Amino acid sequence: MSKIKVSLTEKDNSYEVVIRRGCINDVGQELDLNRKVLIVTDEGVPAEYAEKVAACSGQPFIVTIGEGEEHKSLESFDLLLNKMLQEGFSRKDCVVAVGGGVVGDLAGFAASAYMRGVDFYNIPTTILSQVDSSVGGKTAINYGGLKNIVGAFYQPKRVLIDIDLTKTLTDRQISNGLSEALKMGMTFDAGLVNIFKRDDYMEHLEEIVTRSIELKTNVVEQDEKEAGLRKVLNFGHTIGHGIELATNEEKLYHGECVSIGMVAMSSAEVRKELIPILDRLNLPTSCDVDGEEVYRMMCHDKKASGAMVSAVFCEKVGEYKLQDVTLVSLKDRVRSVTD
Ligand SMILES: NC(=O)c1ccc[n+]([C@@H]2O[C@H](COP(=O)([O-])OP(=O)(O)OC[C@H]3O[C@@H](n4cnc5c(N)ncnc54)[C@H](O)[C@@H]3O)[C@@H](O)[C@H]2O)c1
Ligand SMILES: [Zn+2]
């Protein structure tokens, strides 16, 4: 078990991340649930997780949204606000997310907006949300066909991580999330990368999650609003996003696109270490998507190929190089991982 403090400039916004197996069973000890509690989950999350939170709550109201990215929407946001209003939620009541990044981003945004902000607790249930999205205070919904375009920086009061909840995930979802943990190791922590070199890396899941949260916390504390260092968390994401947009989402998960993007942004030396790890994790290292299309997608929101992007390179495992480059200068790297 560990507790990681996220210390932010506004002291009131600081909070703790508690990592403890089985903590879902006694959430009442960790969170102040003796009030009205809006518990947000989705259809793909085992219903018993939200029910366990409800069992520890004073006045629980479970809202189950549809499963998948398309439900991180204005309609779902409306549903949550409506429920709180109908049930007479006040400023003193709270919202608890029980799910992956979709549920966390949506519920956090609803909590930020209702009466200008009610307490928000996050109980992430996917590896991706445990190692990445539950810390950092970014909340959002998708709107007008654009991802995360409407949202707020809103810190949770506490994050509870129970890694036993991830046992119900598919192997592919597990690898998808581990890709983001590996990403943090590649740029900040060679020791974390070494864990993935072992065949029994899943025995070390608690350490992987804990180290990832510590790394992300460290970055977020130094750069709350993404002015600099936080950009390093985008390692693998510039080309990864291009791939994500160029394929239909059914085909490749976000973490899988990031995995290919990491290969692209690594030096030849680093690739020799990275590729066997990705193979072990069953993550892709290249794709048969048209490279020109990927490049077009990368340019899409930048308007011009001469546009500058902050690119993150890895030339030594555990270290990063952050550099503003033109998109066109990344073209060869795109080609090296696409068709
Ligand atoms: N806020 C941030 O800083 C941040 C960072 C990274 C990603 N994100 C967001 O996170 C989202 C992706 O998160 P995700 O990968 O967790 O996706 P997700 O929330 O869609 O979860 C993936 C799938 O797993 C299912 N699921 C969740 N928990 C489960 C469990 N314990 N057992 C079985 N199935 C379970 C869900 O129903 C869903 O089908 C994206 O919307 C992305 O924009 C946000
Ligand atoms: Zn990501």
Domain spans of the chain? Answer: 2-168, 171-335
- Please count the other Cβ atoms lying within 10 Å of the Cβ belonging to residue 108: 28
* pTM: predicted TM-score of the whole model, two decimal places: 0.95
137: left (phi over 0), alpha (psi -120 to 50) or beta: left
Beta bridge partners of 311: 323
Q: Report DSSP state, residue 133.
A: I
Q: Is the CB of 67 under 6 A from ligand 1?
A: yes
22-48 burial string, b = 16+ CB within 10 Å, else e?
ebbeebeebbebeebbbbbbbebbeee
Contacts of 88 (CB under 8 A, 6+ apart): 36
Take atom 18 of ligand 1 and give the residue whose Cα is closest. 100
Q: Is the CB of 44 under 6 A from ligand 1?
A: yes
- Please count the other Cβ atoms lying within 10 Å of the Cβ belonging to residue 211: 20
Confidence at residue 91, expressed as pLDDT on a 0 to 100 scale: 97
Rg (CA), the chain: 20
Instruction: Please provide residue 58's backbone torsions phi and psi, each rounded to the nearest 5 degrees.
Output: -60, -65
Counting ligands in written order, which one lies closest to the CA of residue 226? 1
Confidence at residue 127, expressed as pLDDT on a 0 to 100 scale: 98
Tell me the two tokens of residue 90: 């006040």
CATH topology of domain 171-335: Dehydroquinate synthase-like, alpha domain (1.20.1090)
Enumerate residue ranges in the chain where pLDDT < 70. 248-250, 301-306
Confidence at residue 233, expressed as pLDDT on a 0 to 100 scale: 95
Counting ligands in written order, which one lies closest to the CA of residue 41? 1
CA 177 to ligand 1 center in whole angstroms: 9
Tell me the two tokens of residue 234: 């985008």
CATH topology of domain 2-168: Rossmann fold (3.40.50)
Q: Which of 21, 64, 133 to mutate to test the pocket of ligand 1 (most atoms within 8 A of CB)?
A: 133
Take atom 3 of ligand 1 and give the residue whose Cα is closest. 133
Distances (CA, A) of 161 to 41, 67, 201: 15, 21, 19
Confidence at residue 150, expressed as pLDDT on a 0 to 100 scale: 97
